[in-house]
Chains A and B, each alone.
Chain A
Amino acid sequence: MYVLGIETSCDETGVAIFHSQQGLLSHHLYSQVKTHADYGGVVPELASRDHVKKLIPLISRALSAAGIDKYRVDGIAYTAGPGLIGALLAGAAVARSLAWALGIPSVAVHHMEGHLLAPLLEPDPPEFPFIALLVSGGHTQLVEVEAIGRYKILGESLDDAAGEAFDKTAKMLGLGYPGGPEIGRLADEGLAGRFVFPRPMTDRPGLNFSFSGLKTHTLTTLAATSSTRQDKADIAAAFQEAVVDTLLIKSQRALEETGLVRLVVAGGVSANRRMRKKLHEMGREKGYRIYFPRLEFCGDNGAMIAYAGCQRLLAGHAEPLEIRARPRWPLSDLLPP
């Protein structure tokens, strides 16, 4: 079965062709990050308009790179939420209309299901069940994954998402957008241990996160220095270490509490090198296996949507003719295919 996957939940237009036996055949991504960098974040309406312009050319490229024409496609998967409503609708409208015109089924995919299944695109994929740590600009969640569509939210951020904390801290330090890579680079020049930031909510039971307070901590720490590049690098290192440690402590706690031994880490923040290193160390020490998607599939992409959609289409899922988009859509609402 050939599946076309379309991702447009935020500022990346992702398109991919996945085959149920041959695996991933092609994937293309157009990133609007440059467009939005000047504004320090995504500009919703600009994002929607860009998706509309980029989708059809990207679909043509993905099809020709996969060596098929559109009449060979057996089903279309698109991100239906959560995300920015205008951006979601751009992808949903193209996907649903194209499926209708070709007389093939289409399936609405949950963006976070796409992320947590992304490591299954790799050789030696994780077996079910596992714990998924989903960390991006809009989400921070720990999920117990029993099987595709069987998700239990164990904990989530009560205020700012981890990626948002990176973006805002970067802004306070005068760095660019997106904040994660900028902080990571600056932190490499930083002196570890000059500043120590709190690890929010790790001193009490539970698996929820809170990153909002780190903003105040960054501001007061910065104000007490003369804001040289070295000061900022030391702060970036302390901030990154605090976020990574917090994510690590809670992930380890989720593994201990559930008795599971596999941890999948996905979403934009999973590209953070410091986090990859520390989680792998924790895994080696405690006997857990840690899975990451390849770097290019940490952020938003069409491949994960094509993969998740393919699993659901194979099980006979198909959407009615309406075009569906849900800006807010709890992962725990999903059912198995």
Chain B
Amino acid sequence: MNLFLPDESATLEFAGRVFQALPSGCLVFLRGNLGAGKTTFVRGCLRAAGFSGAVKSPTFTLVEEYTLPDRSLFHFDLYRLNDPEELEWMGIRDYFRSDTICFVEWPERGAGLLPEADLEIRLTLEKTARRAEVSAHTEKGRELLAQIAMG
């Protein structure tokens, strides 16, 4: 699935659409360079979930947690990670549960230790607009992708 997102509100709206389709227990990778809109995408998901507070960049803290009415959302940023082994020190396995949704920015820094993502969203900058490419890597992910594509 490949989508052109002309502005920020389009990114937020698209993120909301993806989020509505996600059941608990999902893992989503967000790829893209600095400024590609990864955290903006997570903000769109949280807005769709009814969360109206600040969605801070997790670069400094590595992970930000959001408690939603029915589940928890974890927003990771592995940008600062040097060695994937550091994920073990963070207790990464404790986050991926059936009652959470996890978004991981810079998953390549955790290669080998992160499980396969259900969905992967790659954001690229096209002038001031963005392009989103969504791919599925699990059976659950393929079902979700079909659902999202149908709108």
Contact = CB atoms under 8 A, between A and B. Distances in A.
Interface string A22-61: 0000000000000000011111111000000000000000
B55 A44 contact: no
Nearest to B43: A159
A138 B80 contact: no
B39 A138 contact: no
Given A44-B80, A46-B82, A212-B40, A219 B35 contact: yes
B150 interface: no
Contacts of A164: 57, 59-60
Contact of A137 (B40, B60, B85): B60
Contacts of A44: 62, 80-81, 86, 89-90
A41 B79 contact: yes
Interface residues of B, number: 27
A166 to B, nearest CB: 12
A157 B83 CA distance: 29
A43 B89 CA distance: 12
A41 B81 CA distance: 8
B34 A172 contact: yes
A234 interface: no
B86 to A, nearest CB: 5
A58 B79 CA distance: 30
A216 interface: yes
Nearest to A215: B35
A137 B61 CA distance: 10
Interface string A138-168: 1000000000000000001111110010001
Contacts of B85: 45
A86 to B, nearest CB: 6
A68 B80 CA distance: 40
Interface string B67-80: 00000000000011
Contacts of A137: 60
A43 B34 contact: no
B80 A43 contact: yes
A187 B50 CA distance: 41
Contacts of A212: 39-40, 57
A169 to B, nearest CB: 9
Contact of A218 (B35, B62, B81): B35
Contacts of B33: 219
A159 B59 contact: no
A40 B82 CA distance: 10
Contacts of B82: 39, 43, 46
Interface string B32-67: 011101011001000000000011110111100000
Nearest to A82: B61
A327 interface: yes
A158 B89 contact: no
A228 interface: no
Interface in B23-37: 33-35, 37
A328 interface: yes
Contact of A45 (B59, B60, B86): B86
A215 B61 CA distance: 19
B80 A41 contact: yes
Given A41-B79, A41-B80, A44-B86, A159 B35 contact: no
Interface of A: 39-46, 82, 84, 86, 137-138, 156-161, 164, 168, 171-172, 208, 212, 215-216, 218-220, 223, 327-328
Given A84-B62, A220-B128, A328-B61, 13 more contacts: A43-B83, A43-B86, A45-B83, A86-B89, A138-B61, A158-B54, A158-B55, A160-B56, A161-B60, A172-B34, A212-B39, A212-B40, A219-B34
8 contacts: A39-B82, A41-B80, A44-B89, A44-B90, A46-B82, A138-B61, A158-B55, A172-B34
